Amino acid sequence: MKPLTLRRLLLQCSILCVILFLVVVVALKFGAVPVSLYALGRDLLRVLFGQSSQISSDYGLIIVNIRLPRILLGMIVGASLSVAGTSFQALLRNPLADPYVLGVSSGASLGAILALIVEPHLSLSPLFAALLTPLGAFLGATATIAAVYFLGRREGQIDSTTLLLGGVITGSFLSAIILFLMSTLTGSLRGLSFWMMGELSTPLQKSVYWFLGVGFLLAAGAIYTTASDLNLLLAGEQEAMHLGVDVPRVRLVVYIAASFLTGLAVSVSGAVGYVGLIVPHVMRFIFGSDHRTLLPTAAIGGAIAVIMADTLARTVVAPTEVPVGAVTAVIGAPLFIYLLRRRLA
């Protein structure tokens, strides 16, 4: 492991930020309605200088009110899932861990759906009512990861294969309950494809973006404080404990924060899969497995990946849209098989 310097980290992050910016520009340009690069550049400058009133309504509505919020949502969802995946991989010492593969996303979906069912029966203030869905998703995610963690333990040690199998089966079980609920209930619950595959197509209230952003920064920040401990945990729980790591505390902080990030992402975008698997692998391959570098680069990388996937989802069969989770799964599932085979070899 090369010694970490602030300069190198900043350099790596800025390179990724430049890529992120380029991807955002591409995502802003492409869509069902053609927008010229010139008009895009002119309008973006106007937004920057606070003259958005001058934007022609033709592009203004599309770029500023449809594409930009969606890209922002994709950023937060991608970063959250990617950081959650990185954390689960470190904590479970399993490179194939991912919120979707482990069933945590399905647990979050179920929690969110239950919250949506219960909400009209409780007389809550609008603020609490709005927070109930992410809270349900968070509780669902936490309960699922706890269940999968205990399923994956054999003789006091986590067994990778049992863990993955336990996660996949738990996810399938929870999906079945979601299917059951969806086919018996009607009403204003979001569609099935949203919860099972993930979608970014619905713009949200402005306040929700604030909640998402602050929630992401707090949870990701909490995980980042354990970055060095996670590095030591890679050698094994016993070894880390001997090196002075407070393993139970790290475990608690990271599980809760990662479940929170998963719940956050799922409550606004449904179960988008494999982002937490692919992105940390790519980042580890490029920048190495030091979590002090890996966590921030995975966050930016996750944002890039989801924006790219969603741009594809919006454009491949435009004007009809594909759920973004279908795109990430088409790319992610084969990669999962590849990584699994390579690990077994």
Partner 1 sequence: MKVSARQRLRFAIFATSAAWFSCAVISRSQSSPISSASPVFREVTDEVGRTVRVPQPVNRIVSLAPSLTETVYALGLQDRLVGDTDYCDYPPDAQKKTKVGGGISPSLEVIASLHPDLVLVTKSFNRLETVHSLDNLGISSYATDPHTIEEIIASSKKLSDVLGVPEAGASVAADMQHRLADLQKRLGALPPKRVLFVVWHQPLTSIGKHTFIADTLRLAGAVSIVDAEQDWPQVSLEEVARLQPDFLVFSASHSDAVAPAVDALAALPGWNIVEAVSNRRIAVISEAVNRPAPRIVSAIEDLARQLHPDAFMEKPESGKEKLQKENPAPNPPPAAHSSLPPDGAQAQMVFPGGCA
Minimum distance between the CB of residue 232 and partner 1, rounded to whole angstroms? 13
Residues 51-90 that bind partner 1 (CB under 8 A): 52, 57-58, 60-62, 64-69, 72, 75
- The 3-state DSSP class for residue 320 equals coil
Where do we find the tokens 């016993």? 238
Positive/negative CA dihedral, 20, 133, 117, 128: negative
**Per CB under 8 A, which region of 10-18, 87-95, 152-160, 246-254 contacts partner 1?**
10-18
Burial of 150 (0-12, 13-18, 19+ CB in 10 A): exposed
Residue closer to partner 1 (CB basis): 133 or 144: 133
The answer to whether residue 326 forms part of the interface with partner 1 (CB under 8 A) is no
Residues composing the chain? 345
Pairing of strands 153-154, 157-158: antiparallel
Cα torsion through 90, 96, 99, 105, rounded to 10: -160
Minimum distance between the CB of residue 105 and partner 1, rounded to whole angstroms? 19
Residues 195-254 that bind partner 1 (CB under 8 A): 199, 201-203, 205-206, 209-210, 213, 216-217, 220-221, 224-225, 228
The answer to whether residue 15 forms part of the interface with partner 1 (CB under 8 A) is no
d(CA 222, CA 19): 26
Residue closer to partner 1 (CB basis): 71 or 148: 71
d(CA 103, CA 111): 12
The answer to whether residue 186 forms part of the interface with partner 1 (CB under 8 A) is yes
Q: 154: part of which helix (H) or strand (E)?
A: strand 153-154
Minimum distance between the CB of residue 100 and partner 1, rounded to whole angstroms? 21
The residue ranges that bind partner 1 (CB under 8 A) are 4-6, 9-10, 13, 17, 31-33, 47-48, 50, 52, 57-58, 60-62, 64-69, 72, 75, 186, 188, 190-191, 199, 201-203, 205-206, 209-210, 213, 216-217, 220-221, 224-225, 228, 292, 296, 299, 314, 318-321
